Structure 1
């Protein structure tokens, strides 16, 4: 369980393929605090630490994860948003984030707004995911508030702190991102579909 409040960044140092799996080795400022078998959200994707070597750690992505996320586009040097699982009793500063990406989206617009930024994303509506105005959305693991909700698109407003401390600063039109829709909204949508 995560909150969508990004702790730090991690940078891919090595990518190794093994059958249909990919092992990603990262460096991060918190590597020395990690343990094997610990869950970390990488751009919103919950992955398990399988090895630690000095200042690097390794996680493994399986076929299911690679098919539903933007991990297949990662290359050595890619910077990802990193969050450790929340501790029981901590404040929930973002919203409830599972680390289970629902689908990817594509950045279609970046607009500077006098010290903040608006980012617009489109996604395939066939998966029946929805956003609502002022509802929660997770983009690359970052908990955000939806503005300008549409059937297959939404925007988010980014403050300077978030821009500087996440990989939003690298986004441009065409960037593929991981989306996790609000868990409560997913249950409501599912119940609605069952009643039709």
Structure 2
């Protein structure tokens, strides 16, 4: 047996839409956090089937990072494909998404739940046939959000004055992700959800 096949595997999925048009939008929060991880750990993404993917060893664990290229509404197609291809069990996947109902900069880690109207989460649930997967939601709600339509708000670019605060918060998100990998879901929820 190949030594890599013996390693515990994780699939970390950042949700977003491909292409420069969407790169700086609020809805691409998942892509942004994976890009920050790639800078921190000096790895790059390769164009593969249904997405941009990267992998590296973290201690005794083999991590896969996926940015689906299927557009948000079909994210689940890419998630299902890579889970199946790499034989990654359900408890070792983590989906990162934006959340319009959480205050800007706040995180919530959950082991299951509904989509909250998020089309990416909705499609993942449909494709893998369960809502019992870990998801890390990042709040993008601002005071003026409810005066706008959801679609137009999430597809707006981040404002310049939001970027520094956003990057600071993304660093916390990275700590949550690696705690999930190292310590598991429950312990990580206990550590971070109260903040």
TM-score (normalised: structure 2): 0.26
Higher helix share goes to which structure? 2
Which has the larger share of strand? 1
**Is the radius of gyration larger for structure 1 or structure 2?**
1
Using the size of structure 1 for normalisation, the TM-score is: 0.25
